[in-house]
Amino acid sequence: IPVENIRNFSIIAHVDHGKSTLADRLLEMAGAIDKNCGRSQVLDKLQVERERGITVKAQSASLIYNVDGTDYMLNLIDTPGHVDFSNEVSRSLSACQGVILLVDANQGVQAQTVANFYMAFTKELVIIPVLNKIDLKNANPEAITDQLKNIFGIEENEVLKISAKLGTGVDAVLRAIVERIPPPPVNRDKPFRALLFDSWYDRYRGAVSLLYVVDGKVQMGDMISSALSGKLYEVKGLGILTPQETPVECLVAGQVGFMFCNMRSSQEAHIGDTIFHEGNPVAILPEFKASQPMVFAGVYPVDQSHHVELRNAIERLVLNDSAVTSSVESSPALGLGWRLGFLGILHLEVFSQRLLQEFNAEVVVTAPSVTYKATVIGEKNIKKYRSSEISFSNPSQFPDPQIVSEYFEPFVLGTIISPDKYLGPIMQLCMDRRGIQKSMQNIDNHTVMMQFILPLNEIVIDFHDTLKSVSSGYASFDYEEYGYFESKLVKLVILLNGIPVDELSAVVHSSKASIVGHKICAKLKELIPRQMVLIAIQAAVGGKIVARETLKPYRKDVTAKLYGGDVTRRKKLLKQQAEGKKKMRMLANINVPKDIFIDVLKRN
Ligand code: GTP
């Protein structure tokens, strides 16, 4: 296929606006899937992923579409939908010349639509605005077209209106891809050069990479080199995804396809790397900004005897998800474990869910924390920390205020879009979370878009859930990094019967120490089951108690009421109680449920 007939594009959309449905429809219309086989969401290969033990994070599909007698190869590059993965979206877009900006004609523009639009816009990609779900009774394409005009300056005549579900108008989308998006700006006569824009780990083949070939071509058996590591590899497999893996002999400039060579781990398949022929170095393609973990949490086996199994499971998952960072950590109460870094809270949840589902590994996850910074004073202390600026993400490493001149915490720029009738509660929520309003704009008669600067630690746990609940589910939220600023931080120490429990302690803004302290103590009183002894729950800052609750003793004998009688029932109850105990941890000689560390921080 000549370069002029190749189109590389991606669909970007807010969650649930119909990206997978449209992708299926495009594949179906281009004959890649049989309409009658009834499979939907072909690109969501999660089931396949699990069976084969691989992760396909961003999956592409190549389809052939005929316009006026000419065959075009359309390469659809899938992007993940959630805010936590915006770096992956950005990467995938580097292989594209255009995007379909898909917007639900009923819901309208949402926070993620805005973030995605600007990502495509700054990359100077052609943007094809498409309104989906026009078959819905409440769809209002005219109003949403107005929104597109008000926010992005998109003209009415550029907007396509479709129903991905019914197939209405999808033909026009395919045509627009061919007519509006330019062919990739590549050169087939130059030496081979390709961008590695995604990779995943496969048990049998090692790292499998997705390549966008920018110049020349690559063939089976070629010796290739990585610009980043300088390592050499032999090409063992090449192919395109249709979306099934279809082997090919060579990939030529303009194409998107997969490759595997003798790379053992995904770390070797470095995303953003430039690949070229051995001994034929080329100019390096612009590298992506590596994803920086924003949220850290300790992960421990529920039972230390499962330490080795958990280590294997974590290693395997980290191999598949290069955005997760890991280091060894230990805690007096929880034993040996790991401190893992994630892109966001959803990323963390997905990870621990996968540990459970794919490896049957039950874990204790400690309260997530962001990375703080501090400036240390005094020559002795600077020497001890080897620098005057230190970073820490674990509250137990909070440096003593006496040796610190300033603390810093990370902020984000958040975008919220909502019907204006929820403006009051949303403003209140943002203020409660120490937010500072940056802008507000009406995007139509009853919808507003607001921007706030918010401390990351105020949004990691439950901001999104709370925002949804104060807006009856209508408000949407997205954020980007905004940098570090000075902040009055303190360590809120939690004590159980006078013993400080580092695992429950938190770093908070001084203005919030007392409020958060009261909430944590009340929450702990609710979460800790009554025990044989009285338990004093206290919160303290710098030795001063700021909150206190008391949990009265209680003797729990589950069989007490069953005099004589039914032995099997008695046994069953005792067994249940024993099962329950397994899910408990000892903290300061007190039994607590294993999920306490996260539950305690949820505010509602
Ligand atoms: P994520 O993968 O979660 O980001 O969602 P998505 O954007 O891929 O959305 P998906 O294709 O899963 O569609 C979300 C829901 O909208 C599904 O229930 C679809 O059946 C429905 N849907 C998609 N397109 C249409 C449409 O044209 N009309 C109607 N009525 N429903 C649609």
* pLDDT per position as a tens digit, 399-458: 999 999 999 999 999 999 999 999 999 999 999 999 999 999 998 888 999 999 999 999
Structure confidence at residue 293 (pLDDT): 86
> In one letter, which amino acid is 60?
S
Average pLDDT score over the chain: 84
Residue 435 is assigned to a ligand binding site: no
Higher per-residue pLDDT: 94 or 102: 102
Distance (angstroms) between ligand 1 centre and the Cα of 467 equals 23
In this prediction the ipTM stands at 0.97
133 lines ligand 1 (CB under 6 A): yes
Place of tokens 């000419």: 70
| Cα–Cα distance for residue pair 77/8, rounded to 1 Å | 7
Structure confidence at residue 220 (pLDDT): 95
Give the model confidence (pLDDT) of 248-265 as tens digits.
999 999 999 999 998 877
Taking Cα atoms as reference points, which of 88, 123, 96 lies closest to residue 271? 88
**DSSP string covering 256-282, please?**
EEEEEES--STTTS-TT-EEEETT---
Give, as one character, the DSSP assignment of residue 378. S
Among the ranges given (273-277, 280-284, 555-559), the one the predictor scored with the smallest mean pLDDT? 555-559
Average pLDDT over residues 340-360: 82
Structure confidence at residue 511 (pLDDT): 93
Q: Which residue of 21, 56, 100, 173 sits with most ligand 1 atoms within 8 Å of its CB, as the best mutation to test the pocket?
A: 21
Give the model confidence (pLDDT) of 466-476 as tens digits.
998 999 888 98
| Cα–Cα distance for residue pair 363/339, rounded to 1 Å | 13
57 lines ligand 1 (CB under 6 A): no
| Cα–Cα distance for residue pair 178/1, rounded to 1 Å | 14
Residue 80 is assigned to a ligand binding site: yes
| Cα–Cα distance for residue pair 505/542, rounded to 1 Å | 12
**Cut 0.90: pTM above it:** no
7 lines ligand 1 (CB under 6 A): no
| Cα–Cα distance for residue pair 66/70, rounded to 1 Å | 5
Quick one: pLDDT band at residue 212, thresholds 50, 70, 90? very high
Asked if 200 and 45 touch (Cβ cutoff 8 Å), the reply is no
Give the model confidence (pLDDT) of 33-91 as tens digits.
444 444 444 444 444 344 433 333 446 788 888 888 999 999 998 776 555 666 677 77
**Residue 4 contacts by C-beta under 8 Å, 6 or more apart in sequence?**
183
| Cα–Cα distance for residue pair 535/553, rounded to 1 Å | 7
Four-CA torsion 148, 77, 9, 104, nearest 10 degrees? -20
Quick one: pLDDT band at residue 331, thresholds 50, 70, 90? confident
Average pLDDT over residues 390-394: 91
Structure confidence at residue 56 (pLDDT): 39
Structure confidence at residue 531 (pLDDT): 79
Asked if 418 and 474 touch (Cβ cutoff 8 Å), the reply is yes
Tokens coding 170: 């999808």
pLDDT of 390 > 80? The answer is yes
Per DSSP, the three-state class of 442 is: strand
List the beta strands (DSSP E) in 192-261. Answer: 193-202, 206-215, 217-219, 223-226, 232-241, 245-247, 250-252, 256-261
3-class SS shares of the chain: helix, strand, coil, % to 5: 30, 35, 35
| Cα–Cα distance for residue pair 146/445, rounded to 1 Å | 10
Structure confidence at residue 561 (pLDDT): 56
Give the model confidence (pLDDT) of 217-231 as tens digits.
999 999 999 988 889
Highest mean predicted confidence (pLDDT) among 344-348, 365-369, 514-518: 514-518
21 lines ligand 1 (CB under 6 A): yes
pLDDT of 203 > 50? The answer is yes
Please give the share of the chain, as a percent, with pLDDT higher than 90: 45
309: left (phi over 0), alpha (psi -120 to 50) or beta: alpha
Higher per-residue pLDDT: 316 or 324: 324
Structure confidence at residue 98 (pLDDT): 96
Structure confidence at residue 555 (pLDDT): 59
Structure confidence at residue 405 (pLDDT): 95
Average pLDDT over residues 269-285: 84
Structure confidence at residue 179 (pLDDT): 96
Structure confidence at residue 91 (pLDDT): 77
Tokens coding 578: 């024993």
Structure confidence at residue 373 (pLDDT): 96
Q: Which residue of 20, 82, 346 sits with most ligand 1 atoms within 8 Å of its CB, as the best mutation to test the pocket?
A: 20
Tokens coding 17: 């606006």
Q: What is the largest CA-CA distance in the chain?
A: 90
Average pLDDT over residues 143-172: 94
Structure confidence at residue 14 (pLDDT): 86
| Cα–Cα distance for residue pair 367/344, rounded to 1 Å | 13
